[in-house]
Structure formats: structure tokens, C-alpha cells
Structure 1
Amino acid sequence: MHFGAGSPSATGISVSTSGAPAVLIEAGSTGRLADADLAAEDGPGIVVRAGAAPLLEGNRIETAGQAGLLYDGSSGRAVGNTITGAAASGIEVRGKSAPDLSGNRIEGAGQAGLFVHGGGRGQYQGNTIVGSRFSGIVVGAGAAPVLISNTVLDGAEHGILVLEGGTAALQGNRIEGNAGYGIAVAIGAEIERDGDVLAGNREPQIRTDVRVEPPAAAPDPLDEAAATE
């Protein structure tokens, strides 16, 4: 399904694709997608392309062969969406994207629950990330997100990982039960913290000299991926 420029709206739809995004939101779109059931066997669930700023509200992405939701040079809001079973990161934000994400739930991502890199910015508040197979939240080189009151639970590696060249502002996040450090910061990364709660992580709660490779980013280019109408 394509969302073109302007303010298209869709509510309560079901879309299943193979080899393409379930929903492709083009430049100039400021529309609203709500209460949709989406699956993409070999591609990302939703792609928000450069110059788009949609509202994504209460959607369910149950299967994605890549990222569940990909912001690629875009903005907009995502509120109350559920992403389960993404083969790559649950949500990937890159290319100077600056979305506002709140109240989303990401379960069982094959890589990071949330991966912000490549100039990504934005505010991420009140999201829940559970059972990621990599670190729950990863901030890569060139990124500078603001992370407020998120819950990161039971990840296979660190709760929040900030890689070399990344910057993150953390406030009031709850980070529990992860297999690595609660917060892991690479040499050459920067964080600001205020009121985060770290408990029950396997390693000491914070480490500031880790050396970790980033998760894989979604493939480029996306121009060849055509969404199914």
C-alpha cells in the first residue's frame, strides 16, 4: 500500500506482502494510518521516506522480514503501535529523521528494539521494548535521540547501548533484566542521565568503555521496493 503526498487516511485495513513493505509512505505525506494489521514477509512493515511526516496510531505489525518500522530521513508521530516478530530492528531511525514516538510496544525484535543512527534525532517517550535479541535501544554514530520514561526489559544483550560517535539524553528510563549492562557506552560516545532506574541486569549496571559492533541497518536503496496496493 502507498501513501502519497498530501493527507491520505486509512483506518482498520489489513495488508500482507512478500518482498516489499506492507505500507510505503512517500515524501510529502502527512496522512494518518490507524488500527491496521500489517505483515511483510521479506521487507519492512512500514517505511516512512524522506520528507514524509505521518501519524501512525494503534497499528499492529506482526511479521517483518526487515525492520518493523523504518524512518529514512523523515519525521511524524508514532503512537501506541505494537511491533512483534521483526527479523531486524523493531524500529529503525536514520538519515536525519526526527520522529516523535510514544507509547509503542516492541517485542522480540531480531536485532535492536529501537535503533537510531546515521544522524537520527527525535524524542522517544513511554515506549516498551521487551525481549530483543540484541540490545534493547541502540544509538549509533551521528545520532542524538532523547529517551524519556521508556521501559527496556529482558534483552539478550545491553539495555541501552550508545556506540562511538553517538549522543543520547536519558531521563527516567526503566532498564531491567537484560543479559548485559543496563547502560553500555562506547569510548567516544556521550550520554546525559537523570533518574533512570536500573535493576536486575546481569552485568554491573553501567559501563563506559564497551566495544560492540552495531546491528545491521536496513538495506539500501529502498527505491526498488514497491508496496502492494
Structure 2
Amino acid sequence: MANRVILLDVECSMFGMRARLALAEKGIQYERKEENLADKSPLLLEMNPVHKKIPVLIHDGKPICESLVVVQYIDEVWKDKSPAFLPSDPYGRAKARFWADFIDKKVYDAGRRIWSTKGEDRETAKKDMMDALKLVEVELGDDTYFGGDNFGFLDIALITFCSWFHAYEVFGNFSFEDHCPKLIAWAKRCMEKESVSKSLADPNKVCESLLLLGKNYGGVDQ
């Protein structure tokens, strides 16, 4: 079927949530297929033979992989549908891409270490997380969204991590609101958007999943 859109996804993945949110913002109808990463489907292995990861957007039979690439693809292919995710000027687009890459490198890595380690390593991960998010707060400034008055690319890149914040707090015994109140206020504004609230996973479900993973990684205190 021409223009058929399929998303290979995992409910609690912040990267899968990005694709769901981008599709919701553009109002694109699609078929969602939940993947089991412990037993990957033949379709996932066929569509993403390089990394074998989700999300994979399949548009008219052609796969698009990596979440930030998927979000940009959705923005470009359905450019006639509002809103536009990236700024119109090259510098604004470059900044948005820079900070999205920063989030994937610094915030994701620190979060992974919060739930998969203990003791001093976990304390270091918490500090790294706060240091990274405070820099992101500076980039937000006093704007409503990272795109100013418009919810856009960098908002999509970061808001899905907020579904994981509760789990990080449980593992690390700290509060994001105490350290990054401006960022939490931004997250609450984002969650008022129906596209966001319906695309993000339940934080409690994320926490339950991470508790199981944490036991395997040795990151859960016995």
C-alpha cells in the first residue's frame, strides 16, 4: 500500500517515544508493532540489519533508523503538515541538532549508569546527569519551549527522557525538581500537550522495567 507507515517500537523506550510523538504532532496515521528486544522479529532484523535496534520507521516499504533521523525524516516528508520541528534558519537547526546529540550522549549515558551501577559509580552518574541537565536548562532560558513559543525538535528529543526521571530518582534517591526546577516546569508544560501525554510511557511502568534490568546488571540494592 502506497505511503503505508509502520513503526517498530518498544513502549518504554525513550527513543521509540520520540518517533511516536513526532508522528502524533504531525497527525500521521501509522501501524505500530511492539518489539521484544530479547527475541527480535524477522521484520526488525530485515529492516535494521546494521544495529538491530528500534525505532524503525517503515515508510512505503523503506526503513528509516535512529530516532533523531526518524524525527527529521517525518518533519521533511510531511513538511506540509504543521508544526515544523526544526527552525527555519540554518544556525537554529544546527543548535537544535547539537543539543539533541548532547542529550543522547550525556543524559542517556548518565541515566544508564544511575540504574546499572551502585555506590560511588552511581554518585558519579548522578553528578554527571545534573551537570548535563543544568547546561540544557541554560539553553532553555526563560522560553516556553526550546523552540521559543513553538514545541519542536529539541523538545521532542528531551521530553521522552522525562518518562525515565521517576526511575532515576528511585535508583539514585534524589529529586530532579530540587536540582533542575526550570526543566521540570518545562516538562509539565510539555505534558499539557495531548500529543505528548499520549505518546509517553507511564513512568511507573518504566520504573518496573528498570528494576528488573537493574537486578540483572547488579544495580539494585539487595
Superposition TM-score tier, normalisation by shorter sequence: under 0.3
Q: Which has the higher contact order (CA 8 A, sep 6+)?
A: 2
More strand by share: 1
TM-score by length of 1: 0.24
Q: TM-score, normalised by structure 2?
A: 0.24
